[in-house]
Chain A
Amino acid sequence: MHILVIGLNYKTAPVEIRERFAFKEEDMKRAVGALRSAKSVQECVIIGTCNRTEIYAVVDQLHTGRHYIKAFLSAWFDIDKTQFTDYLYIKENDDAIGHLFRVVCGLDSMVLGETQILGQVRNSFILSQETKATGTIFNNLFKQAITVAKRAHSETDIGKNAVSVSYAAVELGKKIFGYFDKKTVVILGAGKMGELTGKHLQSNGVHKVIVVNRSLERAQNLADQFNGEARTFDQLSQALIAADIVISSTGAEGHVVTKKDIQAISRKRNHRPLFMIDIAVPRDLDPEINELENVFLYDIDDLQGIVDANLQERAREAEKIGVMIDEEIAAFKAWLNTLGVVPVITALREKSLRIQEEAIRNIENKLPHLPEKDLRIIRKYSKTIVNQMLHDPLIRMKEMAADSNGDEGLDLFIKIFALEEELANQERIKEERKKQEKPQLDSTEFRLPTLRVSEATVRS
Chain B
Amino acid sequence: MLVTIQSWMYDMTVYIYAISVLMYFSDFLQSNRRVNRTAFWLLAIVWILQSVFFISQMVSKDYFPVLTLFETLFFYSWIMVTLSLVINHFFKMDLLIFFTNILGFIVMAVTIFANPAAAPALSEQLISELLFIHISLAMLSYVAFSISFILSLMYLAQNKLLKEKRWSPLLRKLPSLGLLDLYAYRLTMMGVPLLFLGLILGVLWAHVIGQSIWLDPKIFTSILVVVVYCIYLYRRISYDWQGKKLATMNVVAFVFVLLNFLISGSISSFHQWLR
A293: CB under 8 A from chain B?
yes
**For residue B169, which residue of chain A has the nearest CB?**
A313
The answer to whether A155 and B163 have CB atoms under 8 Å apart is no
The answer to whether A176 and B165 have CB atoms under 8 Å apart is no
Against A, the Cβ 8 Å flags (1 = close, 0 = not) of B231-270 are 0000000011111110000000000000000000000000
**For residue B162, which residue of chain A has the nearest CB?**
A296
B179: CB under 8 A from chain A?
yes
Residues from chain B with a CB closer than 8 A to the CB of A306 are: 167
- In the complex, how many angstroms separate the beta carbon of B229 from the nearest chain A beta carbon? 20
B210: CB under 8 A from chain A?
no
Q: Which of A161, A174, A270 contacts B239 (CB 8 A)?
A: A270
Give the docked Cα–Cα distance between A175 and B241 (Å): 20
Give the docked Cα–Cα distance between A306 and B245 (Å): 27
B177: CB under 8 A from chain A?
yes
In the complex where A175-B162, A296-B162 touch, is A270 in contact with B176 (Cβ < 8 A)? no
In the complex where A272-B242, A290-B163 touch, is A174 in contact with B33 (Cβ < 8 A)? no
B171: CB under 8 A from chain A?
yes
Against B, the Cβ 8 Å flags (1 = close, 0 = not) of A229-253 are 0000000000000000000000000
- In the complex, how many angstroms separate the beta carbon of B162 from the nearest chain A beta carbon? 5
B31: CB under 8 A from chain A?
yes
The answer to whether A175 and B243 have CB atoms under 8 Å apart is no
* Most chain A beta carbons < 10 A, residue from B34, B167, B182: B167
Q: Which of B165, B172, B176, B178 contacts A313 (CB 8 A)?
A: B172
A179: CB under 8 A from chain B?
yes
Give the docked Cα–Cα distance between A293 and B179 (Å): 18
A282: CB under 8 A from chain B?
no
- In the complex, how many angstroms separate the beta carbon of A446 from the nearest chain B beta carbon? 36
B120: CB under 8 A from chain A?
no
The answer to whether A271 and B172 have CB atoms under 8 Å apart is no
The answer to whether B242 and A294 have CB atoms under 8 Å apart is yes
A381: CB under 8 A from chain B?
no
Give the docked Cα–Cα distance between A323 and B42 (Å): 27
Give the docked Cα–Cα distance between A347 and B142 (Å): 75
Against B, the Cβ 8 Å flags (1 = close, 0 = not) of A160-181 are 0100000000001011111100
Number of interface residues of A (CB under 8 A): 25
In the complex where A175-B162, A270-B239, A273-B243 touch, is A155 in contact with B33 (Cβ < 8 A)? yes
A310: CB under 8 A from chain B?
yes
- In the complex, how many angstroms separate the beta carbon of A175 from the nearest chain B beta carbon? 5
A305: CB under 8 A from chain B?
yes
A335: CB under 8 A from chain B?
no
The answer to whether B244 and A293 have CB atoms under 8 Å apart is yes
Residues from chain A with a CB closer than 8 A to the CB of B244 are: 293-294
Give the docked Cα–Cα distance between A271 and B242 (Å): 6
Residues from chain A with a CB closer than 8 A to the CB of B177 are: 175-178, 273
The answer to whether A271 and B241 have CB atoms under 8 Å apart is yes
Interface residues of A in 254-305 (CB under 8 A from B): 270-273, 290, 293-294, 296, 298, 302, 305
B158: CB under 8 A from chain A?
yes
Residues from chain B with a CB closer than 8 A to the CB of A172 are: 162
Against A, the Cβ 8 Å flags (1 = close, 0 = not) of B10-42 are 000000000000000000000101100000000
The answer to whether A178 and B179 have CB atoms under 8 Å apart is yes
In the complex where A175-B162, A294-B244, A306-B167 touch, is A271 in contact with B239 (Cβ < 8 A)? yes
B175: CB under 8 A from chain A?
yes
Number of interface residues of B (CB under 8 A): 26
Residues from chain A with a CB closer than 8 A to the CB of B240 are: 271
Residues from chain B with a CB closer than 8 A to the CB of A179 are: 176, 178
The answer to whether A175 and B171 have CB atoms under 8 Å apart is yes
A309: CB under 8 A from chain B?
yes
Give the docked Cα–Cα distance between A237 and B42 (Å): 54
The answer to whether A296 and B163 have CB atoms under 8 Å apart is yes
**For residue A273, which residue of chain B has the nearest CB?**
B243
**For residue B172, which residue of chain A has the nearest CB?**
A161
Give the docked Cα–Cα distance between A290 and B182 (Å): 23
**For residue B176, which residue of chain A has the nearest CB?**
A178
Give the docked Cα–Cα distance between A335 and B182 (Å): 53
A95: CB under 8 A from chain B?
no
- In the complex, how many angstroms separate the beta carbon of B245 from the nearest chain A beta carbon? 7
- In the complex, how many angstroms separate the beta carbon of A397 from the nearest chain B beta carbon? 34
A19: CB under 8 A from chain B?
no
A358: CB under 8 A from chain B?
no
The answer to whether B176 and A177 have CB atoms under 8 Å apart is yes
Give the docked Cα–Cα distance between A175 and B239 (Å): 21
Give the docked Cα–Cα distance between A178 and B179 (Å): 6
- In the complex, how many angstroms separate the beta carbon of B198 from the nearest chain A beta carbon? 32
Residues from chain B with a CB closer than 8 A to the CB of A313 are: 169, 172
The answer to whether A175 and B242 have CB atoms under 8 Å apart is no
Residues from chain B with a CB closer than 8 A to the CB of A294 are: 242-244
The answer to whether B167 and A310 have CB atoms under 8 Å apart is yes
In the complex where A161-B172, A293-B244 touch, is A176 in contact with B178 (Cβ < 8 A)? yes
Residues from chain A with a CB closer than 8 A to the CB of B242 are: 270-273, 294
- In the complex, how many angstroms separate the beta carbon of B214 from the nearest chain A beta carbon? 41
Q: 6 smallest A-B Cβ distances: which pairs? A: A178-B178, A178-B176, A270-B239, A271-B242, A294-B243, A178-B179
Residues of B participating in the A interface, judged by any CB pair closer than 8 Å? 31, 33-34, 158, 162-163, 165, 167-169, 171-172, 174-179, 182, 239-245
List 18 additional A-B contacts (Cβ < 8 Å) besides A175-B158, A290-B163: A157-B31, A172-B162, A175-B176, A176-B162, A178-B175, A178-B182, A270-B239, A271-B241, A271-B242, A273-B177, A273-B178, A273-B243, A294-B242, A294-B244, A296-B163, A298-B165, A305-B167, A309-B168
Jot down 12 A-B pairs with beta carbons below 8 A, ordered by A: A155-B33, A157-B31, A161-B172, A174-B176, A175-B174, A177-B176, A177-B177, A178-B179, A298-B165, A305-B165, A309-B167, A313-B169
